[in-house]
Chains A and B, each alone.
Chain A
Amino acid sequence: MEFSRSEDHEAIREGIQRICADFPDEYWSEVDEAHEFPWAFYDKLAEGGWVGIAIPEEHGGGGMGITEASIMLEEIAASGAAMNGCSAIHLSIFGMEPVRRYGSPELARDVLPRVATGELHVAFGVTEPDAGTDTTSIRTRAERDGDEYVVTGAKVWTTKAPYCEMCLLLVRTTPREECEKPTQGMTLLLVDLQDPAVDITPIPKLGRNAVVSCEVRYDGLRVPVSRRIGEEGEGFRYLLDGLNPERILLGSESLGIGRAAMDRAVQYGKERIVFGRPIGQNQGLAFPLAEAHMKLHAAELAVREASWRFDNDLPCGEAANTAKYLAAEAAFFACDRAIQTHGGMGYAREYHVERYWREARLMKIAPVSQEMVCNYISTNVLGLPKSY
């Protein structure tokens, strides 16, 4: 076992920190309140080649692994950009993996280089109003018509949709009832979002408002067969490949938010004087911060193990789920204690910890809920009977 920090990873951290230094908390607070996409930040990252960090070099990317991607996202979050910063680029980092792995060489050549430069924005459409946790119950249908599919249905929580040229869409090419197993009959298509047959409606939400999430209706959208990723009916299997990396990356983003919250809380604890002494001298405040620090540290170790396993082609389902669970809990706890440490000012926009808290809260729900992680661990790891 090896715990030393690699020079390459330190270089990533420093590189990101330098860029993020030009985008302080106030920038993020403004774009969050204005519900404006952080274009200036995005463009700066794209310029530096960071958006394509984990896309293979043959497609113009950095060719790095999940570990490097997760360190980058952690640093972005830790700068105070939190989820607004990370979600602006998140899907470009690893979301295209199904295209790379299972898509035709032509399709990969067409899209991946443009994703790597940051020019092509792609969204991800899986969840539906009636199919969140229960993915196999999706009803968005794709009917074959000549050399096209005709897509009809609705997705919810499609991040960044209004700014995306394309969307990686999970559809049913065979209704669930006609499949032997519910995980069959689904297909991945790379569809055009800026098409008249697509209707995008933003969803008002608690936080991370610089990056919008939308309800997207597909009303007879025609999609060329050449835009199908891999084989018809295999879409769910392709998706599964991307689930573990997604958990690892979101775990890192949680870690970053936790660090941002801790930095502010500790600073405030040292500076704020009440009853003639810094409030950080009170055990009632210091001890929970100590606890938050230790929980984040334990979560970090879980995230590192998971990313190491993934990059070394080892099974990492348990590790990735554990990492996401622990990091989400630790981050939210740290943000909550940061607000509490700030007292009344914790409630004020000016101190930013409320923004971190609103954004950290999301990770207990997405990309998979804490409850579903417990289902995974209790069933697949502990071997207890499945509860649903």
Chain B
Amino acid sequence: MSDAVIDEDDLAMLAAGFDGALRGVDADAGTKGLVELGWLEVLEASPAQGIATAFAALGSAGSAAAVLDDVLAHALGLAASTETCVVLPAPGRATAPGRRDGDDIVVDGVVTRRADAATTAVVVLDDGGVVSLDASALPAAEGETIDPDAAHRRARFTAHASVVEPLDVAGAWADAVAAARAALAHQLLGASRTMLDQARDHAVERVQFGRPVGSFQAVRHKLAEALVQIEGAAAVTVEWQPDADPLLAALAKSLAGQAARTSASNAQQVLAGIGFTTDHPFHRWLKRTLVLDALFGSASTLPAEIGAELLARGEAPRLLEL
């Protein structure tokens, strides 16, 4: 069932607006800009379109604006708010980050930079329960990561039952995972397109042996290969809706992660020496790709999960009617 309520022209305008709000500003300004343009309202009214547009823009602009929390909150049936952060699974995992241990809640997950400004942190437990607690209970960063701008940090802590509030939510963790995977897939593809553009521009401008290096097959084929993978992943990702088979989101995330790895690797090879410096902005997208791929299941780990699901179902389901 489609929830596409925004028509093509309006969607294009929204995309342009989001892009403008994110380019050349810091992450917090980016978050503010998206919210002012109506991100939370679009998420509510047409989640698939809103997520696709916002996260493609985030990926493309290389912005670390924190709106993934809103995607999770919305999927859980909570009112999305910039005051709320949602604890993500531990790196490389997709299981709920919290569990009960007697009277305690033990948490092992990740929080985005949303946690810095939030007042409330939401934790989903592995028994299906959901609790909220004061965001000040979240621990400080454990150390630096490869992508400090993303400002994700590990959140490993124990909270006593007396400081948490149980929440009655309408949505399930599985829905939140699917929505997050779709969002991250869009973001990975946006980042991939930017890296490909950077490499393509270089291939056109850089002249060696009297011709642009892009005229050599070894170079242009690498760019073509990246685009083929991006488009393949996009064809799946763009079909995601909140009521889709959760397998679709897993596929999208896996394929987008693979496309991003290929795009990063091939773009880096084409950019050659200059791409290895921090003078060229490419490195920022490369590092962001590593962080995004690792969240909610990577291109390495998702195939095993998808395979196990196919075996459990005893069939390879047709996820899209073309």
Interface residues on chain B, number (Cβ under 8 Å): 4
**For the complex, what is the distance from the CA of A284 to the CA of B222, rounded to whole Å?**
10
**For the complex, what is the distance from the CA of A311 to the CA of B80, rounded to whole Å?**
71
Cβ–Cβ < 8 Å partners of B217 in chain A: 282-284, 287
**For the complex, what is the distance from the CA of A283 to the CA of B216, rounded to whole Å?**
7
Question: B280 in the interface, Cβ–Cβ < 8 Å?
Answer: no
Cβ–Cβ < 8 Å partners of A284 in chain B: 217-218, 221
* Least Cβ–Cβ distance between B28 and chain A, in angstroms: 44
A residues 247-293 near B (Cβ < 8 Å) are 282-284, 287
Nearest residue (CB) in A for B221 is: A284
**For the complex, what is the distance from the CA of A256 to the CA of B216, rounded to whole Å?**
32
Nearest residue (CB) in B for A285 is: B217
Cβ–Cβ < 8 Å partners of A282 in chain B: 217
* Least Cβ–Cβ distance between A292 and chain B, in angstroms: 15
* Least Cβ–Cβ distance between B150 and chain A, in angstroms: 32
Cβ–Cβ < 8 Å partners of B218 in chain A: 283-284, 287
**For the complex, what is the distance from the CA of A282 to the CA of B220, rounded to whole Å?**
12
* Least Cβ–Cβ distance between B266 and chain A, in angstroms: 14
**For the complex, what is the distance from the CA of A287 to the CA of B221, rounded to whole Å?**
11
What string of 1s and 0s marks CB contacts (under 8 Å) between B208-220 and chain A? 0000000011100
Cβ–Cβ < 8 Å partners of A287 in chain B: 217-218
Cβ–Cβ < 8 Å partners of B221 in chain A: 283-284
* Least Cβ–Cβ distance between B98 and chain A, in angstroms: 29
**For the complex, what is the distance from the CA of A283 to the CA of B221, rounded to whole Å?**
10
**For the complex, what is the distance from the CA of A284 to the CA of B218, rounded to whole Å?**
6
Nearest residue (CB) in A for B216 is: A283
A residues 326-344 near B (Cβ < 8 Å) are none
**For the complex, what is the distance from the CA of A31 to the CA of B216, rounded to whole Å?**
43
**For the complex, what is the distance from the CA of A373 to the CA of B217, rounded to whole Å?**
35
**For the complex, what is the distance from the CA of A283 to the CA of B209, rounded to whole Å?**
15
Cβ–Cβ < 8 Å partners of A283 in chain B: 216-218, 221
* Least Cβ–Cβ distance between A293 and chain B, in angstroms: 16
B residues 183-223 near A (Cβ < 8 Å) are 216-218, 221
* Least Cβ–Cβ distance between A284 and chain B, in angstroms: 4
B residues 62-119 near A (Cβ < 8 Å) are none
**For the complex, what is the distance from the CA of A271 to the CA of B221, rounded to whole Å?**
24
Nearest residue (CB) in B for A282 is: B217
Nearest residue (CB) in A for B218 is: A283
* Least Cβ–Cβ distance between B304 and chain A, in angstroms: 13
* Least Cβ–Cβ distance between A294 and chain B, in angstroms: 15
B residues 254-288 near A (Cβ < 8 Å) are none
* Least Cβ–Cβ distance between A232 and chain B, in angstroms: 41
Nearest residue (CB) in A for B219 is: A283
* Least Cβ–Cβ distance between B280 and chain A, in angstroms: 25
Cβ–Cβ < 8 Å partners of B216 in chain A: 283
**For the complex, what is the distance from the CA of A287 to the CA of B219, rounded to whole Å?**
11
A residues 320-373 near B (Cβ < 8 Å) are none
Residue with the greatest number of chain A CB neighbours at <10 A, chosen from B216, B217, B221: B217
**For the complex, what is the distance from the CA of A223 to the CA of B245, rounded to whole Å?**
61
**For the complex, what is the distance from the CA of A282 to the CA of B216, rounded to whole Å?**
9
What string of 1s and 0s marks CB contacts (under 8 Å) between A365-387 and chain B? 00000000000000000000000
**For the complex, what is the distance from the CA of A375 to the CA of B217, rounded to whole Å?**
38
* Least Cβ–Cβ distance between B61 and chain A, in angstroms: 34
**For the complex, what is the distance from the CA of A287 to the CA of B225, rounded to whole Å?**
15
**For the complex, what is the distance from the CA of A283 to the CA of B217, rounded to whole Å?**
6
Nearest residue (CB) in B for A281 is: B217
* Least Cβ–Cβ distance between B178 and chain A, in angstroms: 30
* Least Cβ–Cβ distance between A135 and chain B, in angstroms: 26
**For the complex, what is the distance from the CA of A287 to the CA of B217, rounded to whole Å?**
10
**For the complex, what is the distance from the CA of A271 to the CA of B189, rounded to whole Å?**
42
* Least Cβ–Cβ distance between B8 and chain A, in angstroms: 38
**For the complex, what is the distance from the CA of A287 to the CA of B218, rounded to whole Å?**
8
Can you offer 10 A-B residue contacts whose CB atoms are under 8 A?
A282-B217, A283-B216, A283-B217, A283-B218, A283-B221, A284-B217, A284-B218, A284-B221, A287-B217, A287-B218
The residues of A with any CB-CB pair to B shorter than 8 Å are: 282-284, 287
Nearest 3 A/B pairs, CB to CB = A283-B217, A284-B217, A283-B218
Given A284-B217, A284-B221, A287-B218, 5 more A-B residue pairs with CB atoms under 8 Å apart are A283-B216, A283-B217, A283-B218, A283-B221, A284-B218
